[in-house]
């Protein structure tokens, strides 16, 4: 009873519009509550201990895994998103455990070779429902993870699953109701993903030499962060080594975005008048977001990265070559699905070979897919 009381005390400190664990809509398969961990803490632990989470370490963010020790992988990106999510949730008096759990699971469905790999799988699955890493993340936690003899998946709380349903126009809840938006915690994880993605890809681009720092001064976000870094370093910024120099500027850039996100979101929440998590879901617009100024500056940063980094020939060519390997592995498994393994084969009758093969390929790390390709080369299997 003491442990349950401590949970109640912690939740009493949350804002009234936070999603409280004691008010969760529950799980698909009901379970006995833990003596001292809330349902969202348990969800976080289930995600971290899952096989799919460990595989993120071998999956590309921008640079193919193995390109260099300092570049981000899908796992390091995920940890950074979780860190930002907790910071923003705490600042707004929201449920940190829920925001963190959603952040940790948001990329579990990402295939090898980054967004190029996702595009290739989507093309390969064009006639079979397509492929989207957000929807695949849901499949991972609901179907593909193997942790319980009682059922497939991780049996996560409704609120965590809700947070993974990005880009939905309507959210369906266990009580039969629908809403326009997810929880504030889910909204935070979504924006934290963007903050981590673009700012840290900017750092990797500079580290690689594909981006040149003086060129970034055309971006107001960068020039403002650079000035702030100079001020906060007491004039020592330019004397620092190049890595320290750019990391400190990016630190200031991320701080600027997070502070703007917190202040703007707090203002929007107060102006909305919401007093519960239910009212948040039924509010006509999202309540977590940037100011107009930061939103415009982020759009410019995003455009700059697409034009000068993501589409850079060195990045594109490597990813295109890797996607040719994915193409051949996909078709080799369609040709001989017996290599999928017993559990995957058991789903073919219900879901069809293409979807089961897509699940299998999406779960591979970059290195594992390359190994598969090497194993089929002597056989001479090539895509039709």
Q: Hey, which CATH number is domain 2-16+36-316, 1.10.1040.10, 2.160.20.10, 1.10.3210.10, 2.60.120.10?
A: 1.10.3210.10
For residue 116, what pLDDT is reported?
87
Please name the residue that has the structure tokens 């996607």. 323
Please name the residue that has the structure tokens 């976000």. 221
Inter-CA distances, 172 with 143, 176, 185, Å: 19, 7, 17
Q: pTM of the prediction? A: 0.93
Q: What is the pLDDT along the chain (384 residues), one digit of tens a residue?
A: 446 566 767 888 899 999 999 999 999 888 888 888 999 999 999 999 999 999 999 987 765 444 545 577 899 999 999 999 999 999 999 999 999 999 999 999 999 988 889 999 999 999 999 999 999 999 999 999 988 887 889 999 999 999 999 878 889 999 989 999 999 999 999 999 999 988 888 988 898 888 999 999 999 999 999 999 988 888 777 777 888 888 899 999 999 999 999 999 999 999 999 999 999 999 999 999 999 999 999 999 999 998 998 888 887 787 788 889 999 999 999 999 999 988 899 999 999 999 999 999 999 999 999 999 998 865 444 444
Q: Which residues pair with 60 in a beta bridge?
A: 73
In 33-181, DSSP assigns E strands to: 171-172, 178-179
Q: What is the Rg, in whole angstroms, of the alpha carbon atoms belonging to the chain? A: 22
Q: Tell me 142's DSSP state.
A: I
Do 64 and 319 contact (CB within 8 A), yes or no?
A: yes
Q: Tell me 283's DSSP state.
A: S
Q: Tell me 64's DSSP state.
A: P
For residue 380, what pLDDT is reported?
46
What b-and-e string marks burial along 124-151, b requiring 16 or more CB atoms within 10 Å of the CB? bbeeeeebbbbbbbbbbbbebbeeeeee
Give the span between the Cα atoms of 277 and 208, in whole angstroms: 44
Write down the domain spans for the chain: 2-16+36-316
Do 141 and 167 contact (CB within 8 A), yes or no?
A: no
Q: Which residues pair with 255 in a beta bridge?
A: none
């Amino acid at each position: 009873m003491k442990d349950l009381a401590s949970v109640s005390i912690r939740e009493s400190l949350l804002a009234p519009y936070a999603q409280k664990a004691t008010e969760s809509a529950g799980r698909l398969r009901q379970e006995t509550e833990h003596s001292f961990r809330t349902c969202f803490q348990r969800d976080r632990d289930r995600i971290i201990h899952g096989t799919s989470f460990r595989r993120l370490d071998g999956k590309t963010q921008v640079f193919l895994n193995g390109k260099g020790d300092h570049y981000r992988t899908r796992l390091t990106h995920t940890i950074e998103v979780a860190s930002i999510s907790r910071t923003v949730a705490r600042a707004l008096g929201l449920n940190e455990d829920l925001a963190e759990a959603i952040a940790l699971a948001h990329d579990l469905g990402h295939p090898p070779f980054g967004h190029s790999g996702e595009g290739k799988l989507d093309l390969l699955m064009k006639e079979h429902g397509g492929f989207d890493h957000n929807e695949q993340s849901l499949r991972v936690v609901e179907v593909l993870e193997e942790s319980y003899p009682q059922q497939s998946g991780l049996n996560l709380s409704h609120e965590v699953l809700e947070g993974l349903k990005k880009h939905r126009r309507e959210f369906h809840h266990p009580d039969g109701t629908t809403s326009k938006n997810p929880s504030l915690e889910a909204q935070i994880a979504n924006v934290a993903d963007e903050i981590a993605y673009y700012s840290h890809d900017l750092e990797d681009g500079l580290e690689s030499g594909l981006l040149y720092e003086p060129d970034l001064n055309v971006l107001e976000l960068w020039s403002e962060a650079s000035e702030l870094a100079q001020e906060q370093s007491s004039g020592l910024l330019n004397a620092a080594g190049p890595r320290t120099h750019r990391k400190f500027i990016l630190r200031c850039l991320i701080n600027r975005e997070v502070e703007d996100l917190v202040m703007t979101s707090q203002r929007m929440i107060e102006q909305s008048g919401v007093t519960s998590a239910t009212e948040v879901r039924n509010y006509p617009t999202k309540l977590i977001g940037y100011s107009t100024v930061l939103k415009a500056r982020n759009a410019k940063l995003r455009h700059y990265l697409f034009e000068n980094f993501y589409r850079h020939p060195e990045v594109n060519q490597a990813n295109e070559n890797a996607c040719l390997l994915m193409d051949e592995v996909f078709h080799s498994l369609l040709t001989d699905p017996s290599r999928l393994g017993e559990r995957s084969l058991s789903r073919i009758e219900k879901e069809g070979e293409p979807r089961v093969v897509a699940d299998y390929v999406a779960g591979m790390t970059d290195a594992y897919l390359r190994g598969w390709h090497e194993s089929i080369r002597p056989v001479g299997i090539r895509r039709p």
